[in-house]
Amino acid sequence: MRLTPLLVVVVAVGGVLGTTGRYAAAHLIPTAQDIPWATLAVNLVGAFLLGLLLESLSRTGAETPRRQLARLGLGTGLLGGFTTYSTLALEVLELWSDGQPARAVGYGAGSVSAGLLAALAGMVLAHRLGGQRAGGGARHD
C-alpha cells in the first residue's frame, strides 16, 4: 500500500466523523449504575460494523483502490474514531479506583468479549447477505 495524500485525507475525515459520533453518543446515552453505557454501546456498534465492513469487502474480491478507500475511510477513519478502547481502559481503572474491582473486571472483560462477538455477528451477517446476492458470486468493482 502506498500512502497518498488522498488516503490521509479520507482517514482524517472519517476520524472526524467517527469521533463526532462518539461525542454525540456520550452525551445522549446516560451513565447509570456506574456502568459507562455510551462507551459500551459505541464499541459494540463499531465492532459489529467493522466486522460487517471488512467481511463485505473481502467477499467482493482482491483489494482495489476503491475498496482501499472504503476500508481506510470507513474502517480505520470512521469506525476507528467512533470506537474507543482507550476510554474503556480508563473507565475500568476508574471503577477499580472507586473500590469496585469486580465491576471493573466484569466491565472490561465483558466489553472485550461482547466486542468480539459483535464483530463476529457483523461478519456472519455480511457472509449471509453476500450469499444471497444474485448469482451468489463475488462482485468485482
Model confidence band, residue 8 (pLDDT cutoffs 50, 70, 90): very high
Output DSSP code: residue 138: P
Distance CA 38, CA 48 (A): 15
| Residue 129, all three cell numbers | 447477505
Which amino acid is it at 111? Answer: S
pLDDT reported for residue 133 = 57
Mapped to the 3 state alphabet, what secondary structure does 17-80 carry?
HHHHHHHHHHHHCCCECCECHHHHHHHHHHHHHHHHHHHHHHHCCCCCHHHHHHHHHHHHHHHH
- Summarize pLDDT for 15-64 with one digit per residue, the tens: 999 999 999 999 999 877 778 999 999 999 999 999 999 999 999 888 99
What pLDDT was estimated at residue 67? 93
Categorize the per-residue pLDDT at 3 as very low, low, confident or very high, splitting at 50, 70 and 90.
confident
On whether 80 is known to bind a ligand per the annotation, the reply is yes
Of the chain, the percentage scoring pLDDT greater than 70 comes to 92
